[in-house]
Structure 1
């Protein structure tokens, strides 16, 4: 039995030194009959005791297929119960889970499977217009002549097993029910024996970062990386076994499988999954029906719920806290979430996959102006600083530069990419995020943009976040994204894509005048476009590079874009 004590920010977390499997065993012992997870559509729920047993059974299945500690196993699926089972089962026997983005097309899938060197992959059949089996077969044509466990492919020398989580059987795959039957051939004692050999510093997860250029990089994380992040993220929200977290965020992303599943695991809270992929209506339904006390999401998800036609009649009185993160959080939006939505203790988190993921977070007892206007202070065990992007010298409070973090969450490295790892983690262990920020004199941080998002107009540095924050204050603006586009005279010009609120009308001239009231003339957008939606990743992150690409095409700036600069 593991000794449990009350925690504060200065004491050692009870999970430190343990593996994910050990933490699951302890949480199931402490809260056996509490809900562990609830999937709303289709309905499926398990208590912590049931989840512990199901995970052991699933781990036995992996052992039956020949998986051993250090092997890699990919999961390519939306938010389904098997995702959670496999996350915990792989961790229990030291198999490295590889998270695969469900929006990947065939070429992206092929790259991820090859680069991560998976020995097995589990997948769903389809979701909406994506047919996973077809894409897998396109990525690996050799499956056409394979049988379960016997794939021979020059392109995928390590890949042997394909496990179908649902749908019709395929000749080269083992379906989920058969996988669970195979587990009966392995004693549960074998799982326990392997679990005892694992260390908390072992690699347990590879998560691919969604960069805007080049191939994704697989951030490799340890048990300790993710468990400490989950512990402190939950502590910042004052989470306990009485809490129920609505999780519309994807499991393949750190937001879902660290701040979501593992945060619940560590604190004994219930995970509530409204739907396979984000749906504003389904999320509101889940909060009401399951009496969720916490809600997670990126800003676009919160906006979609606030603007949903049924929002006004919803009973969201159970909401107390949660995390808004994943992309810059507009101050005006945070005010609406804490006041109108009722999540008065909502927190903002900042970090990235390479940090497991949070580096800073606001706390529930922070003054409201800090909770809506900053990304908080570093988690215990983390350091943060702002440096000059050119000289790498530490900057004083109030000065803008690159945000760097150091501590327990910094990844082990990018899988099989030592040069890429060295480019972001320096010799002193500081992770260079590529984000711009500043430290306030009270120790709280603000994120002001991306290094590469910065617009340079005629020698003037312009940070899109400042312009966006101003436009969010306009009563007719629901969402806005600002980017730089090529300009022959100034190098770059400012472009704003604006999504008006439903039923509201606003003109370019009105918004230009509104900006001019508080922004320097050179910061006021030159180009404007009114849109219904923005290009996003599956996690809801807005892809500014696609906005820029579309604008270059629509504005006829291709020739200017090709002009080389020093």
Structure 2
């Protein structure tokens, strides 16, 4: 990514009026945070190899459900054998390989195997059904897909047959289907041979000593600027877009994340609550871990708060990764079970976390430090995150952290003009983290990335002069009530301090006179007697009258994406119908 430096003519400084003008504009919401360490031109596969050479005997990944543990050297050996096998069945540099699975050890072995031979991993949500899977295969032209045959209640092979009945009738590697014409090979993670598919272990066995040696020898032929991963956006509205990330994006962003999350200080074991297919699991968790030799603990293939707590206890995890909703669940589970856990750091991201929840994480989970990360799929993962030196708890609990090294950020109004520090507007970021673009979608790419390379986040944001930032909310989630702009997060943070409230989502509902009214959708504690009237009384004198919810909806759960993001548009649809 190219950086742009504006050079001011010296003659400007001869004009007192111009100096005053410069002082005025220096208070605008723009920061370029120049990093102290240079960016690295490395591939993801090379980073893993370097770490395996440094810590060969250290545990890389532990799956409690699968009862498997691999150290860094064992992991690399399996990845290179698999990489050789993938080449043997006809996959070539640049081919897209769909990885459609929950959190298994095999997920990350496949991920590194593909990176080691120049294949592009397409991370697929394991909750996808046939129509969603078909769309993704065709969107990026996948040549192969890897998935389990069946795990728990999810029958992946059956869903795949709904996409292509021809799978059951073809020889492995010779699939021909009009609905998904690019797809040629299906690889099943299974203990059995299944018609029309390669078996994962069969591919692994194709890699002999000579072919795996060639994998190591050819690492320098893979370019750092080439694509390594395609992440589908959450698809909360419309069809999901396919963001293309390069080795350079992932390697450098995950390195920066690891430094900020203090993985360089000691050997850490990370309790992985988040899914691998999402940017949180892919870059923030796995990518950062392999930069510094951390160990990943997978509690279960699919999300389970009880298994997450058990893993944190049994494996003595020093770091926990999760979304705010996951921490709400973990806090409640710990209240019930009172397990002996001693995590040092909790990293929260994926959506804004309330100060109240951060306090509970410290008080109930006994976490010594809480850290925020903020970013988008389109920024590889993170562009703001907590600094290691943040001793002031407010820096972590009331902001999303400090701008990352080597990035620029600015906040603009509706006309694209930079607003003063401390003023809400849309956040734009520019730097090495920006995706290559959306696969086969030039129009959407241009709508997201400007001609001068600014990525428009769509988030209402406040940038502080010290480089820290605060999320106000999504632009599309802002409520306009009688001409007043209302930011849901501010109300959510306040309502979450109520002793009977577990979690809050605030939405705008249509109102004939005001345009919109404020509706609080709330998960409450068991046996709570919370009412709209008592909630309004709780708010009086503490937040402005126009921010006080006039509607209250008690819910058992919020509609979420598989990565844990609450889908507010579905909440709005649900309660609009009831009005």
Same structural fold, with TM-score higher than 0.5 when normalized by the shorter chain: yes
Deviations 1:38-72 (A, max 9, x none): 11112111111111111111101111111111111
Residue 302 (1) aligns with residue 346 (2): no
Aligned counterparts of 1:421 and 1:19: Cα–Cα separation in 2: 24
Deviations 1:224-260 (A, max 9, x none): 1011111111111111351111111000001111111
**How far 1:361 sits from its partner (Å)?**
0.2
- Equivalent residue of 2:56, what SS? coil
**1:119 matched residue in structure 2:** 143
Structure 2, unpaired ranges of 5+: 1-33
**How far 1:175 sits from its partner (Å)?**
1.3
**Matching residue within 157, 180, 191 for 2:204:** 180
Deviations 1:127-161 (A, max 9, x none): 34332112111122332432211111223222110
**Matching residue within 316, 321, 335 for 2:345:** 321
Aligned counterparts of 1:207 and 1:482: Cα–Cα separation in 2: 28
**How far 1:311 sits from its partner (Å)?**
4.8
Asked whether the 8 Å contact 2:275–2:563 carries over to 1, the reply is: yes
**Matching residue within 40, 46, 50 for 1:22:** 46
Residue 42 (1) aligns with residue 66 (2): yes
Structure 1, unpaired ranges of 5+: 1-7, 556-566
**2:269 matched residue in structure 1:** 244
Inter-CA distance 310–454: structure 2 relative to 1 (3 Å threshold): closer
**2:496 matched residue in structure 1:** 472
Residue 285 (1) aligns with residue 310 (2): yes
Asked whether the 8 Å contact 2:460–2:473 carries over to 1, the reply is: yes
**2:83 matched residue in structure 1:** 59
**1:12 matched residue in structure 2:** 38
Residue 483 (1) aligns with residue 501 (2): no
Asked whether the 8 Å contact 2:55–2:293 carries over to 1, the reply is: yes
Aligned counterparts of 1:83 and 1:450: Cα–Cα separation in 2: 32
Q: What aligned pairs does 1:82-481 form with structure 2 within 5 A after superposition?
A: 82-166=106-190, 168-184=192-208, 187-240=211-264, 242-308=267-333, 311-317=336-342, 319-366=343-390, 367-388=392-413, 390-481=414-505
Deviations 1:306-330 (A, max 9, x none): 111665521112x111310001111
**1:70 matched residue in structure 2:** 94
Aligned counterparts of 1:441 and 1:379: Cα–Cα separation in 2: 14
Question: How many residue pairs end up in the alignment?
Answer: 544
- Equivalent residue of 1:456, what SS? strand
Asked whether the 8 Å contact 1:217–1:415 carries over to 2, the reply is: yes
Inter-CA distance 429–68: structure 2 relative to 1 (3 Å threshold): same
- Equivalent residue of 2:206, what SS? helix
Aligned counterparts of 1:316 and 1:144: Cα–Cα separation in 2: 48
Aligned counterparts of 2:209 and 2:162: Cα–Cα separation in 1: 33
Asked whether the 8 Å contact 2:334–2:364 carries over to 1, the reply is: no
- More moved, 391-400 vs 145-154: 145-154
Tell me the TM-score normalised to structure 2 length: 0.91
Aligned counterparts of 1:315 and 1:309: Cα–Cα separation in 2: 9
- More moved, 195-204 vs 501-510: 501-510
Aligned counterparts of 1:535 and 1:148: Cα–Cα separation in 2: 38
- Equivalent residue of 2:420, what SS? coil
> Which structure is higher in RCO with an 8 Å CA cutoff and minimum separation 6?
2
Deviations 1:321-376 (A, max 9, x none): 13100011111111221343222222100001100110100123211111111001
Asked whether the 8 Å contact 1:218–1:415 carries over to 2, the reply is: yes
- Equivalent residue of 2:277, what SS? coil
- Equivalent residue of 1:50, what SS? helix
- Equivalent residue of 2:410, what SS? strand
**How far 1:199 sits from its partner (Å)?**
1.2
Aligned counterparts of 2:512 and 2:59: Cα–Cα separation in 1: 60
**How far 1:168 sits from its partner (Å)?**
4.5
Asked whether the 8 Å contact 2:309–2:334 carries over to 1, the reply is: no
RMSD of the alignment, in Å?
1.6
Aligned counterparts of 1:133 and 1:486: Cα–Cα separation in 2: 44
- Equivalent residue of 2:289, what SS? helix
